[in-house]
Structure 1
Amino acid sequence: MSFLSASLARIKPSATIAVSQKARELKAAGRDIIALSSGQPDFDTPDNIKRAAIAAIGRGETKYTAVAGITELREAIVDKFKRENQLDYTVAQTIVSNGGKQVIANALMATVNPGDEVIVPAPYWVSYPELVSLCGGTTVFAQASRASNYKLTASELEAAITPRTKWLMFNSPCNPSGAAYTREELQALAEVLLRHPHVWILSDDIYEHLTYGDFKFTTPAQLAPQLYERTLTMNGVSKAYAMTGWRIGYAGGPLALIKAMEKIQGQTTSGASSVSQWAAVEALTGPQDYIAMSREVFQERRDLVVSMLNAAPGLDCPTPEGAFYVFPSCVELLGKRTEDGAVLNTDEDFVSALLQAEGVALVHGSAFGQAGNFRLSYAAATEQLRDACARVQRFCATLR
């Protein structure tokens, strides 16, 4: 309808949210559904963090806060960046937002003009290109391949850069693939970026603490200090501390950019929830044993899911270095028919037929810019994952 903004025509609804909602509706209708479409830990928020929130309520910490966040949380963020990433920021160089998504939206709204290009490596988190479009920018997709485990190479990055490039969206470990960049892989990308000083880097580190085995996480501004002045390093408490509903994201970056983001936030949401901010202070400064515990469980789940999916006829599932997703290829199954005669022409056909036949809700890979794949979140109970993967195996075995 003409009353609505033309910007709405530039964006699509979130595919992950849509699949999760469909799964909820089917479950409410009585179907036996296992939903592995949502990117949130199934663990409860640690008790010390919940107690900190309750204590904050008891102290009356329930008023508006400064737009950029309470000083105590911003100081904790400064300490976190120094302790874990060897990055030096002042309190004024930090901002607290209503989740990591708002950090990204603020940054793009504050910097992107019509005609500006933002490089988004594919496969990508579904919201990156939509936020770029909402802000009037142009997304340039840099397609990674299975050969590189869905990680962007230096040559692919170089080919995507033009004089109009403003940002590179960088996500490691990556949603949806779980791929994480080694220091050597990151160094190769940094060398390209150093040759193009007009390109800024938005480093989405939200899965920083979810890496497995001997993998060592490194963030771009840490590896290449020359990039510090044009890097926004974004993180949050949602994934690392099972705090998705608390809605706290944060970032550190150049002062002028942070001030511009604060200006945007001041006219949209103002500050994040006061109680959630005090809970986040405890998350960043309190005991960190939850992280190691959850990482161990997620690694066990990853290994189970990878093994079972690779045993399914026609699936190829690489082993991710981080996050809590696997991103298998179902290309070999496209063109086959289900038991009721439906042809699976696309990855979306595959996940739709799987949901109908076996009650397992996954997200099709084309929603993430990689046709022929699907994403499965293993942030679910181990027995539920075992059951879901057995159903996937059964479904794949019936295709002809």
Structure 2
Amino acid sequence: MKWFWRIFFTIALLAGWGILGYFFADFTLGSPKRTKPVEVEIPPNSTLQEIGRILKEKRLIREAYFFRYYAAWKNKTTLRAGTFEILPGETLDDMLAKFADGKENKVKVVIPPGWTVYEIADRLEAKGFDKQAFLEALNNKKPQFAFEYKITKGPYRKYKLEGYLYPDTYYFKPNEKPEKIINTMLGQFNDHYEKLNVEEKLQSHPRLKNMTLDKVVTVASLIQREGQDKSELPRIAGVIYNRLDIHMPLQVDAAIVFMYREKGQKVTRVYQKMYKGVRHPYNTYENIGLTPGPISNTTEDALAAALEPENHKFLYYVTREDGTHRHYFATSYEQHQKYNAISKKNREKVQAVQASGE
């Protein structure tokens, strides 16, 4: 009878391990408790292993050890790329059905830093949204955030909310209303606005005593378009404030680009003939002071720089043209001219290297 008990205990042990393994696999494929929808993006040509990793990163499953085996068992191995919204009550089976069906219930929209309302509208149109309805809502929608009441709408400002549509990656329903799209972007701006304690700094910072929220956002938009190196943004802000203090034209090329965009023309490089003698409120070479409104939509870094400008005596800057995306800063026009010459040599050197194919 010893052989019987040996077989019995072996079977019982195997069964125990099997049950334990089942519960362990079931636990790893389960989801921690969720109270909000989760956005999941499945890139094209993703493997089951990669999809399992994505679900784990999104905390939709606890571990990805058994995901591909479970998907194969459920005959859900052909999962399609797309952006999906996973609701709090949806199980892994629901997710697999969604991924296999491939019908995206969210549209991914990426808004890079420094884009204008025009560029955002074009991107939304390319993603299937109503461009004209979006542009109209920018001036007509009901304010949802307190800071919106501080924004002025002047005669030379085509779109009131230019500058406040925070650059980020968004996921919208295909039939999302333009007001909801705008409020989502404004909500992101509001988060950073509160994080930076903007109103408190407007009241306490000595450099900002004559500034309003709208003026600071305008300065931030100029900084955003002029600087690419994060560490230089406060220094560029200092140049702008220094020029404002002595009533010196800002001479910001990015504002000239925006000026032509307002006139329906797209330009990428600025030449003297484009602004010399041209009467326009956004011409920072002919006018003194800030533009009537922001010229781009800004990041937290640019807004922070506008709120905390570097204290220095620089009045000029020019791109180094050496591939670093940094600038030379000068306190005098003579020094600025020397840096212009160096910048030109750098550009010629870079172009020569590119032409040689090195």
Indicate the structure with greater strand content.
1
Query: Which protein, 1 or 2, shows the higher relative CO under an 8 Å CA cutoff with sep ≥ 6?
Result: 1
TM-score for both structures, normalised by structure 1: 0.23
| Structure number, greater radius of gyration | 2
Q: TM-score, normalised by structure 2?
A: 0.25
